[in-house]
Structure 1
Amino acid sequence: MPKRRVGARRAAGRSRRLVLIGISAAVVAAGAVVTPQAFAGTSGNGTTAAAERGSFLQRLRDRFSSGGAQTGGGNAGGGNAAGCSDVELVFARGTGEPQGLGIVGRPLAQALAAGLDGQKVGSFAVVYDAASNQRSAGPGATNMTEHIESVAQSCPETQFVIGGYSQGASVTDIAIGIRGAGTAGKAIPAALRERVAAVVVYGNPLGLRRQTIAQASPDFAGKAIEFCNNGDPVCGGGNTFSAHLAYPRNGTVQRGADFAVGKLG
C-alpha cells in the first residue's frame, strides 16, 4: 500500500480518537444537568453497589440470593428459575460516566420496564472503565458477554436486550462480533445470539467508519436499532457537541424501548 495512503488512514484514525477523547469530559459535566438522577444509583436497582462489592461471581451470588435486579412486576416465565428475570437489559454507559447504567441506560431501563408491565424486567450495568482513551471497550464487551453467559445458564428463559451509549455502543459492537470496533474483546457465542431479542445503541462511534450494525453484523441486523442525532460528532461526523448529549431528552430513549418491546413480542 502506498505510504501516502497509509499515512492518511493513520491520520484519520488519530482524528477519530481525538474526537472521542475530547467528548468524554463534557459527557460527565453535562450529564448531571441533562438528567441529574442518572448519576444517583445509575446501576438500575443496585447493580452498581453489587459491582463495587467484589468479583463477578460475588455479584452473581448477590443477584440471585436477593431475587435479582428487578424493575417490573409479574411472575417469572415458564422454565426460569426462581429469582430470574423474564427480560434483562444489559447496558454499557458512555465514556467518563461513573459505574452504572448512565444518563441513557437508566431511563431506558425504566421505559423498558414500563413497556413490559406484568413481566419481571432486570438490568445490569456493564462493568468497565469507560476510559477516555477508548481502550476499555474490549474489556467491557468481555464483561457484557460473560454476564450474559452466566445469566443464560442459570435462567434458561431469560431474554436479553443489550446496548450502550457512546463508548458503550462500541462495547456492544464488539460483543456482537463486529471487528475493528475497538480493542479486542469476547463476543457473544453463536449459541446464545437467539436469546438477544434486541440491540439498542446511541451515538455509536461505528458511524465514523460509515458503518451500521445492520451492515457490519448480519446476525443482529434485524433486531438492532441505532440512534445518531443530527450533528453528533461521535457517530455522524458532525460538529454540534450538544447533539451527543441530547439522547436522554429528545425521545429516542422511549423509541429504543418501544423497539425492544416490539422485538420481545
Structure 2
Amino acid sequence: MTAPVGVLPSASAAGCPDAELIFARGRMEPPGAGQIGNALATALRQKTKKNISLYSVNYPADTQIDLGANDMSRRIQATMANCPKTPIVLGGYSLGAAATDVVLAMPFPVLGFKLPLPATADPHIAAVALFGNGIQWVAPITQFNPAFQSRTIELCHGNDPICNPTDMENWQAYWPEHLAPGYIKAGMVNQAADFVAKKLR
C-alpha cells in the first residue's frame, strides 16, 4: 500500500486490502515488523491467497509498552474508519505481545496508554497471534477479555524464560528459546498462520 502511515484508502477504494496484519515487533528489534511479523505476513499470504497488508507498529521497542499500544490502537481505528470491511489481525512478539495485550485488555486510559479501543472495534478484529508473551504466564489475554477466546492463539517456545519462567536460575541457558529464529524454526509462525487463515475465510 502507498497510503501514508496511519491512513488507509476509503472503504470504497480498490486499495483496501482483503485483510490487514498489525504487528508489534519484539524488544530491541530494528524498526519494522521484526522477523516473526514478516514471516507471519508471508505465511498468511501464501495460505490465504489474499491481499494482506502489513502494518508495523511504530514504537521504540525498548521498554515503553504504552507507545506501542497507542500506535496499534491508532492504526486499528484508522482501518476501521477507512476500510470498514477489512478484517484486522493483531500480532505481537515479546514486548510487542505485551503492547497488544494492553490494547485488548484496557477499555480505558491508564498510565501512558491514551487510546483505548471503542466497543465497536470488536467485530473488526478477526484474530490475534501472540508469541513469547511475558504476561501469558500471569494470565492469558483471554482472561482479561474473554470475547477473544476463540480468536486468539498464544505461543510459547519450549522453556522460553519470558513466557514460561519455570527455571529462572538457568534463564540464560534457555534464552535462545525466546529469540525469534527459535519460534520460526519450531514451526510456531506456521502454526499461527494456520489458525489465523481459518479466521479469514
Q: What's the TM-score once normalised by structure 1's chain length?
A: 0.67
Higher relative contact order (CA 8 A, sep 6+): 2
Q: Does 1:260 align with 2:189?
A: no
Instruction: Name the residue aligned to 1:228.
Output: 156
Gapped regions of structure 1 (runs ≥ 5): 1-44, 51-57, 66-78
8 Å Cα contact 1:203/1:234 also seen in 2? yes
Instruction: Name the residue aligned to 2:5.
Output: 59
Structure number with greater Rg is 1
Instruction: Name the residue aligned to 1:172.
Output: 100
Q: How many corresponding residue pairs?
A: 190
- AA in 2 matched with 1:213: I
Q: Residues 110 and 229 (structure 1 numbering): CA distance in 2 closer, same or farther, change over 3 Å? A: same
Q: Residues 201 and 262 (structure 1 numbering): CA distance in 2 closer, same or farther, change over 3 Å? A: same
What is the Cα deviation at residue 263 of structure 1?
1.3
8 Å Cα contact 1:80/1:156 also seen in 2? no
Once superposed, what is the RMSD of the aligned Cα atoms? 2.2
Which structure 2 residues correspond to residues 86-235 of structure 1 after superposition, within 5 A?
86-117=18-49, 119-131=50-62, 134=63, 136-178=64-106, 184-185=112-113, 186-209=115-138, 211-235=139-163
Q: Residues 203 and 178 (structure 1 numbering): CA distance in 2 closer, same or farther, change over 3 Å? A: farther
8 Å Cα contact 1:90/1:161 also seen in 2? yes
What is the Cα deviation at residue 81 of structure 1?
2.4
- AA in 2 matched with 1:264: L
8 Å Cα contact 2:6/2:74 also seen in 1? no
What is the Cα deviation at residue 208 of structure 1?
4.0
**Runs of 4+ with >6 A deviation:** none
Instruction: Name the residue aligned to 2:183.
Output: 247
- AA in 2 matched with 1:97: E
SS in 1 for 2:176: helix
Name the one with the larger helix percent: 1
What is the Cα deviation at residue 60 of structure 1?
4.0
What is the Cα deviation at residue 187 of structure 1?
3.0
- AA in 2 matched with 1:197: A
Q: What's the TM-score once normalised by structure 2's chain length?
A: 0.87
What is the Cα deviation at residue 216 of structure 1?
2.3
Gapped regions of structure 2 (runs ≥ 5): none
Q: C-alpha deviations, 1:85-140, integer Å up to 9, x for none?
A: 110000000000111010110000000111111x2211100000101xx2x11111
Identity of aligned residues (%): 36
Instruction: Name the residue aligned to 1:34.
Output: none
Q: C-alpha deviations, 1:17-58, integer Å up to 9, x for none?
A: xxxxxxxxxxxxxxxxxxxxxxxxxxxx78xxx8xxxxxxx4
Q: Residues 212 and 229 (structure 1 numbering): CA distance in 2 closer, same or farther, change over 3 Å? A: same
